[in-house]
Structure 1
């Protein structure tokens, strides 16, 4: 057992530090020198013989450093944020620095071996010769690595987009199934029906909310991102209708005032609703104790903070199973797909209460004057 654990640890360490890249780099430079010299045997000998092997290691090490510096620092920090001028400048500087470091390998090899440059690399060998070898090799290695990286990112983006589309369809179908079931429809309609005689104004308002809720689910939530204010408006309608259906001994506390005017932010449809719906679905129904639901929504810049809590039954195991079921798993998966590394979700079950705390970094809208009638223009300014 210990042997197996040790083997797994070594494998994890191997992949964590990307040591599997080393064979690729040695093979790449071996093929490059085959193309340059046209003699595989001679290339292999130059790799094995110590003075030339040292020069070869300079190619491998400094070009690999330049490649990883470009892939994991320059591209995320400048290219992906559309700072093209800075990216090209820093990329050119990186190529120059890596090339000069590679060229220095010729002189270090000469110094370590105690032989002259002409003796090691030929009478015509000079700085310009070394530079003409190192510069194309460096540019080629960085171009190849970028091509592989960008192709990999494109494939992952396509796969992620397909998963998002699938998740969106499944989520919409799930919510439609949950909301348009006879239990929901008949209870809500019956509640409004009794209000018609008791409080006509409230019945009229409730019927309008019910109509808006159905319209939202059918027509307005087909986009991947919608204005946060629209989602909050839908959430309010949902809560008001659920209040009609709940018993009088369920106290519902809502605080979302600070988010009502958030037209400049977008959110994926039904992200917030899942947690609120679970609270209404699993709230306790004690006759001798308080039953309550608490909802707080706040904004800090572009960060949405959601806190949902509700009283639960005295059977924490059964409640945990229900709360930890398909609904929360689905919303976690949607968060992973829609907001990777841009959310924090904490779920707690304390036996007599269940609560979630979500922090979600949203995307801003910028309203273009020319397109105000048509709608809005989205800019990727997510934190």
Structure 2
């Protein structure tokens, strides 16, 4: 919340300085025109009217730009932020209407002085004042709509864009980019609106209303949808360019039909829309390709490096978790006790299995993928060693149903063992009845893996009491990195049982 407010404050400060700079430049322009003469003196002399540069130019223009500057500040920094937050709604709407009305009257009165020669064109002063009021009302109403639209979008734009599921679900980068580009377009549209609508150059104004949004939409659609899909299918610039040519032609035809229908007699509109289509093909299309190549492909490379780094960290942490003194201590004690009680056959078997496991960890664990057969062999060796340790406890039941794997499926090494280690570590008690059940089977390229174990209350002096399962968080991280969208992990825990179910799509 604090960060959002800071960003809004910075944006508002930027807009204050932009509007103030434009206001100062306008003042400089008015002063220079006052010094070197304005264009209105010719109309006054032609109409045989007295002309005063102060009364008929300087003061009217000063009042006109000042009322616009003050109104923009009030709308953008006072009224609209309160309306967006729904604070004192009635009061702020009332003040907005009052400021608009004052601006219309000020603009009309200023024009009656700066364009007094036009009063002679009408049959009566009342008719002239009506025309001047209508022009002032149209200009101020249109311009202040832009002011308020911009101020509202500036306050609530990000929030509104985040509510669009289509944008929210696609990528987080697109929302702030659309917000920034829209604000820039609205600022330029306000500037053009202030200049062009005062001259009633509606054709150019309509062009600026339509052309930039059309190009912006095509750019975003190209960058986020067209180009990525083409790149997935190994298509190049040629396919992309000619596809966008077709899109630009269709958009231009539709916009031309729409604007001609709504603006009868506007002959310049179809020409400007054709220019819009040309800009889509010659500017927006190659620019979107350039942006994607130099921005998003670099981001993809960075993401790949982050993924590889995450995999390395996960593997390193996993290797560290495998050096488990508790397990090694128990295994060595078991082998030592067995050697004292019986002949060396079982001891040799245990040492062999432990050697196979250590060899697996040192060599095959460094590979990205291994055969599922080798992974299953490691699981069986580990389970056999644990059975050897618990064989003298009649109250411990270990059931395994692990299918022999004769396929060519590949899997990331050491991905399944954490679940079994966790079961033996937390599910077996040499003093209380306990059990473990392990099931592993494959169907086509899908692996189904289930592990369930009993839960018992550990004694206070048990060093494992406060420790969590071995590598469970690590294996979750590895699954999310290496099998994103290709796995389903279900973990359930009750008062008496811990259960995991893993479904995995293998290569």
Q: What TM-score results when the alignment is normalised by the length of structure 1?
A: 0.72
Q: 2:249 aligns with which of 73, 92, 100?
A: 100
Name the CA distance, whole Å, in 2 between partners of 1:52 and 1:344. 51
Q: Distance in 2 between matches of 1:69 and 1:250?
A: 58
Number of the residue aligned with 1:112: 262
2:227/2:289 contact within 8 Å kept: no
What CA distance in whole angstroms lies between the structure 2 residues aligned with 1:321 and 1:60? Answer: 60
Contact 1:66/1:94 (8 A) holds in 2: no
- CA drift of 1:350 comes to 1.3
Match of 2:336 in 1: 190
Residue 131 (structure 1) shift = 4.6
Q: How far off is 1:89 after superposition?
A: 8.1
- Correspondence for 1:261: 406
The residue aligned with 1:154 is 301
Distance in 1 of aligned mates of 2:468 and 2:211:
59
Alignment of 1:163-202 (within 5 A): 163-178=310-325, 181=328, 183-194=329-340, 197=343, 200-202=344-346
> Which of 431, 439, 445 is the matching residue for 1:296?
439
Once residues 322 and 330 of structure 2 are traced to their aligned partners in structure 1, the CA distance between those partners, rounded to angstroms, is 12
Higher relative contact order (CA 8 A, sep 6+): 1
Structure 1 gap ranges (5+): 34-39, 364-383
Question: What is the distance in 1 between the residues matched to 2:413 and 2:449?
Answer: 15
The 1:191–1:135 alpha-carbon spacing in structure 2 relative to 1, beyond 3 Å, is farther
Verify: 1:16 aligned to 2:168, yes or no. yes
Deviation at 1:354, TM superposition (A): 0.7
Q: Please say if 1:226 is aligned against 2:370.
A: yes
Distance 1:345 1:295, change over 3 A: same
Choose from 273, 283, 302 the match for 2:417. Answer: 273
Structure 1 counterpart of 2:396: 250
Mapping of 1:319-338 within 5 angstroms?
A: 324-325=468-469, 327-338=471-482
What is the root-mean-square deviation in Å for CA atoms of aligned residues? Answer: 3.9
Output the TM-score relative to the length of structure 2: 0.56
Q: Which residue of 2 aligns with 1:55?
A: 211
Cα distance, 1:214–1:51 mapped onto 2, change above 3 Å:
closer
Structure 1 contact 102–134 (Cα < 8 Å) conserved: no
Residues of 2 paired with 1:221 and 1:180: CA distance?
19
Change (3 A) 1:312 1:48: farther
Go from structure 1 to structure 2 and tell me whether the alpha carbon gap of 1:272 and 1:126 turns closer, same or farther (over 3 Å shift).
Answer: closer
Alignment match, 2:65:
none
Match of 2:381 in 1: 237
Q: Whole-Å Cα distance in 2 between the matches of residues 324 and 90 of structure 1?
A: 54
Q: Which residue of structure 1 lines up, in the alignment, with residue 220 of structure 2? A: 64
Tell me the secondary structure at the aligned position of residue 504 of structure 2. strand
Structure number with the higher helix fraction is 2
- Work out the CA distance in 2 between the residues paired with 1:221 and 1:215: 9
| Separation in 1, partners of 2:203, 2:334 | 79
Indicate conservation of the 8 Å contact 2:418/2:470, yes or no.
no
The Cα of 1:325 is off from its aligned counterpart by 4.9
Query: 2 CA distance for matches of 1:278 and 1:97?
Result: 59
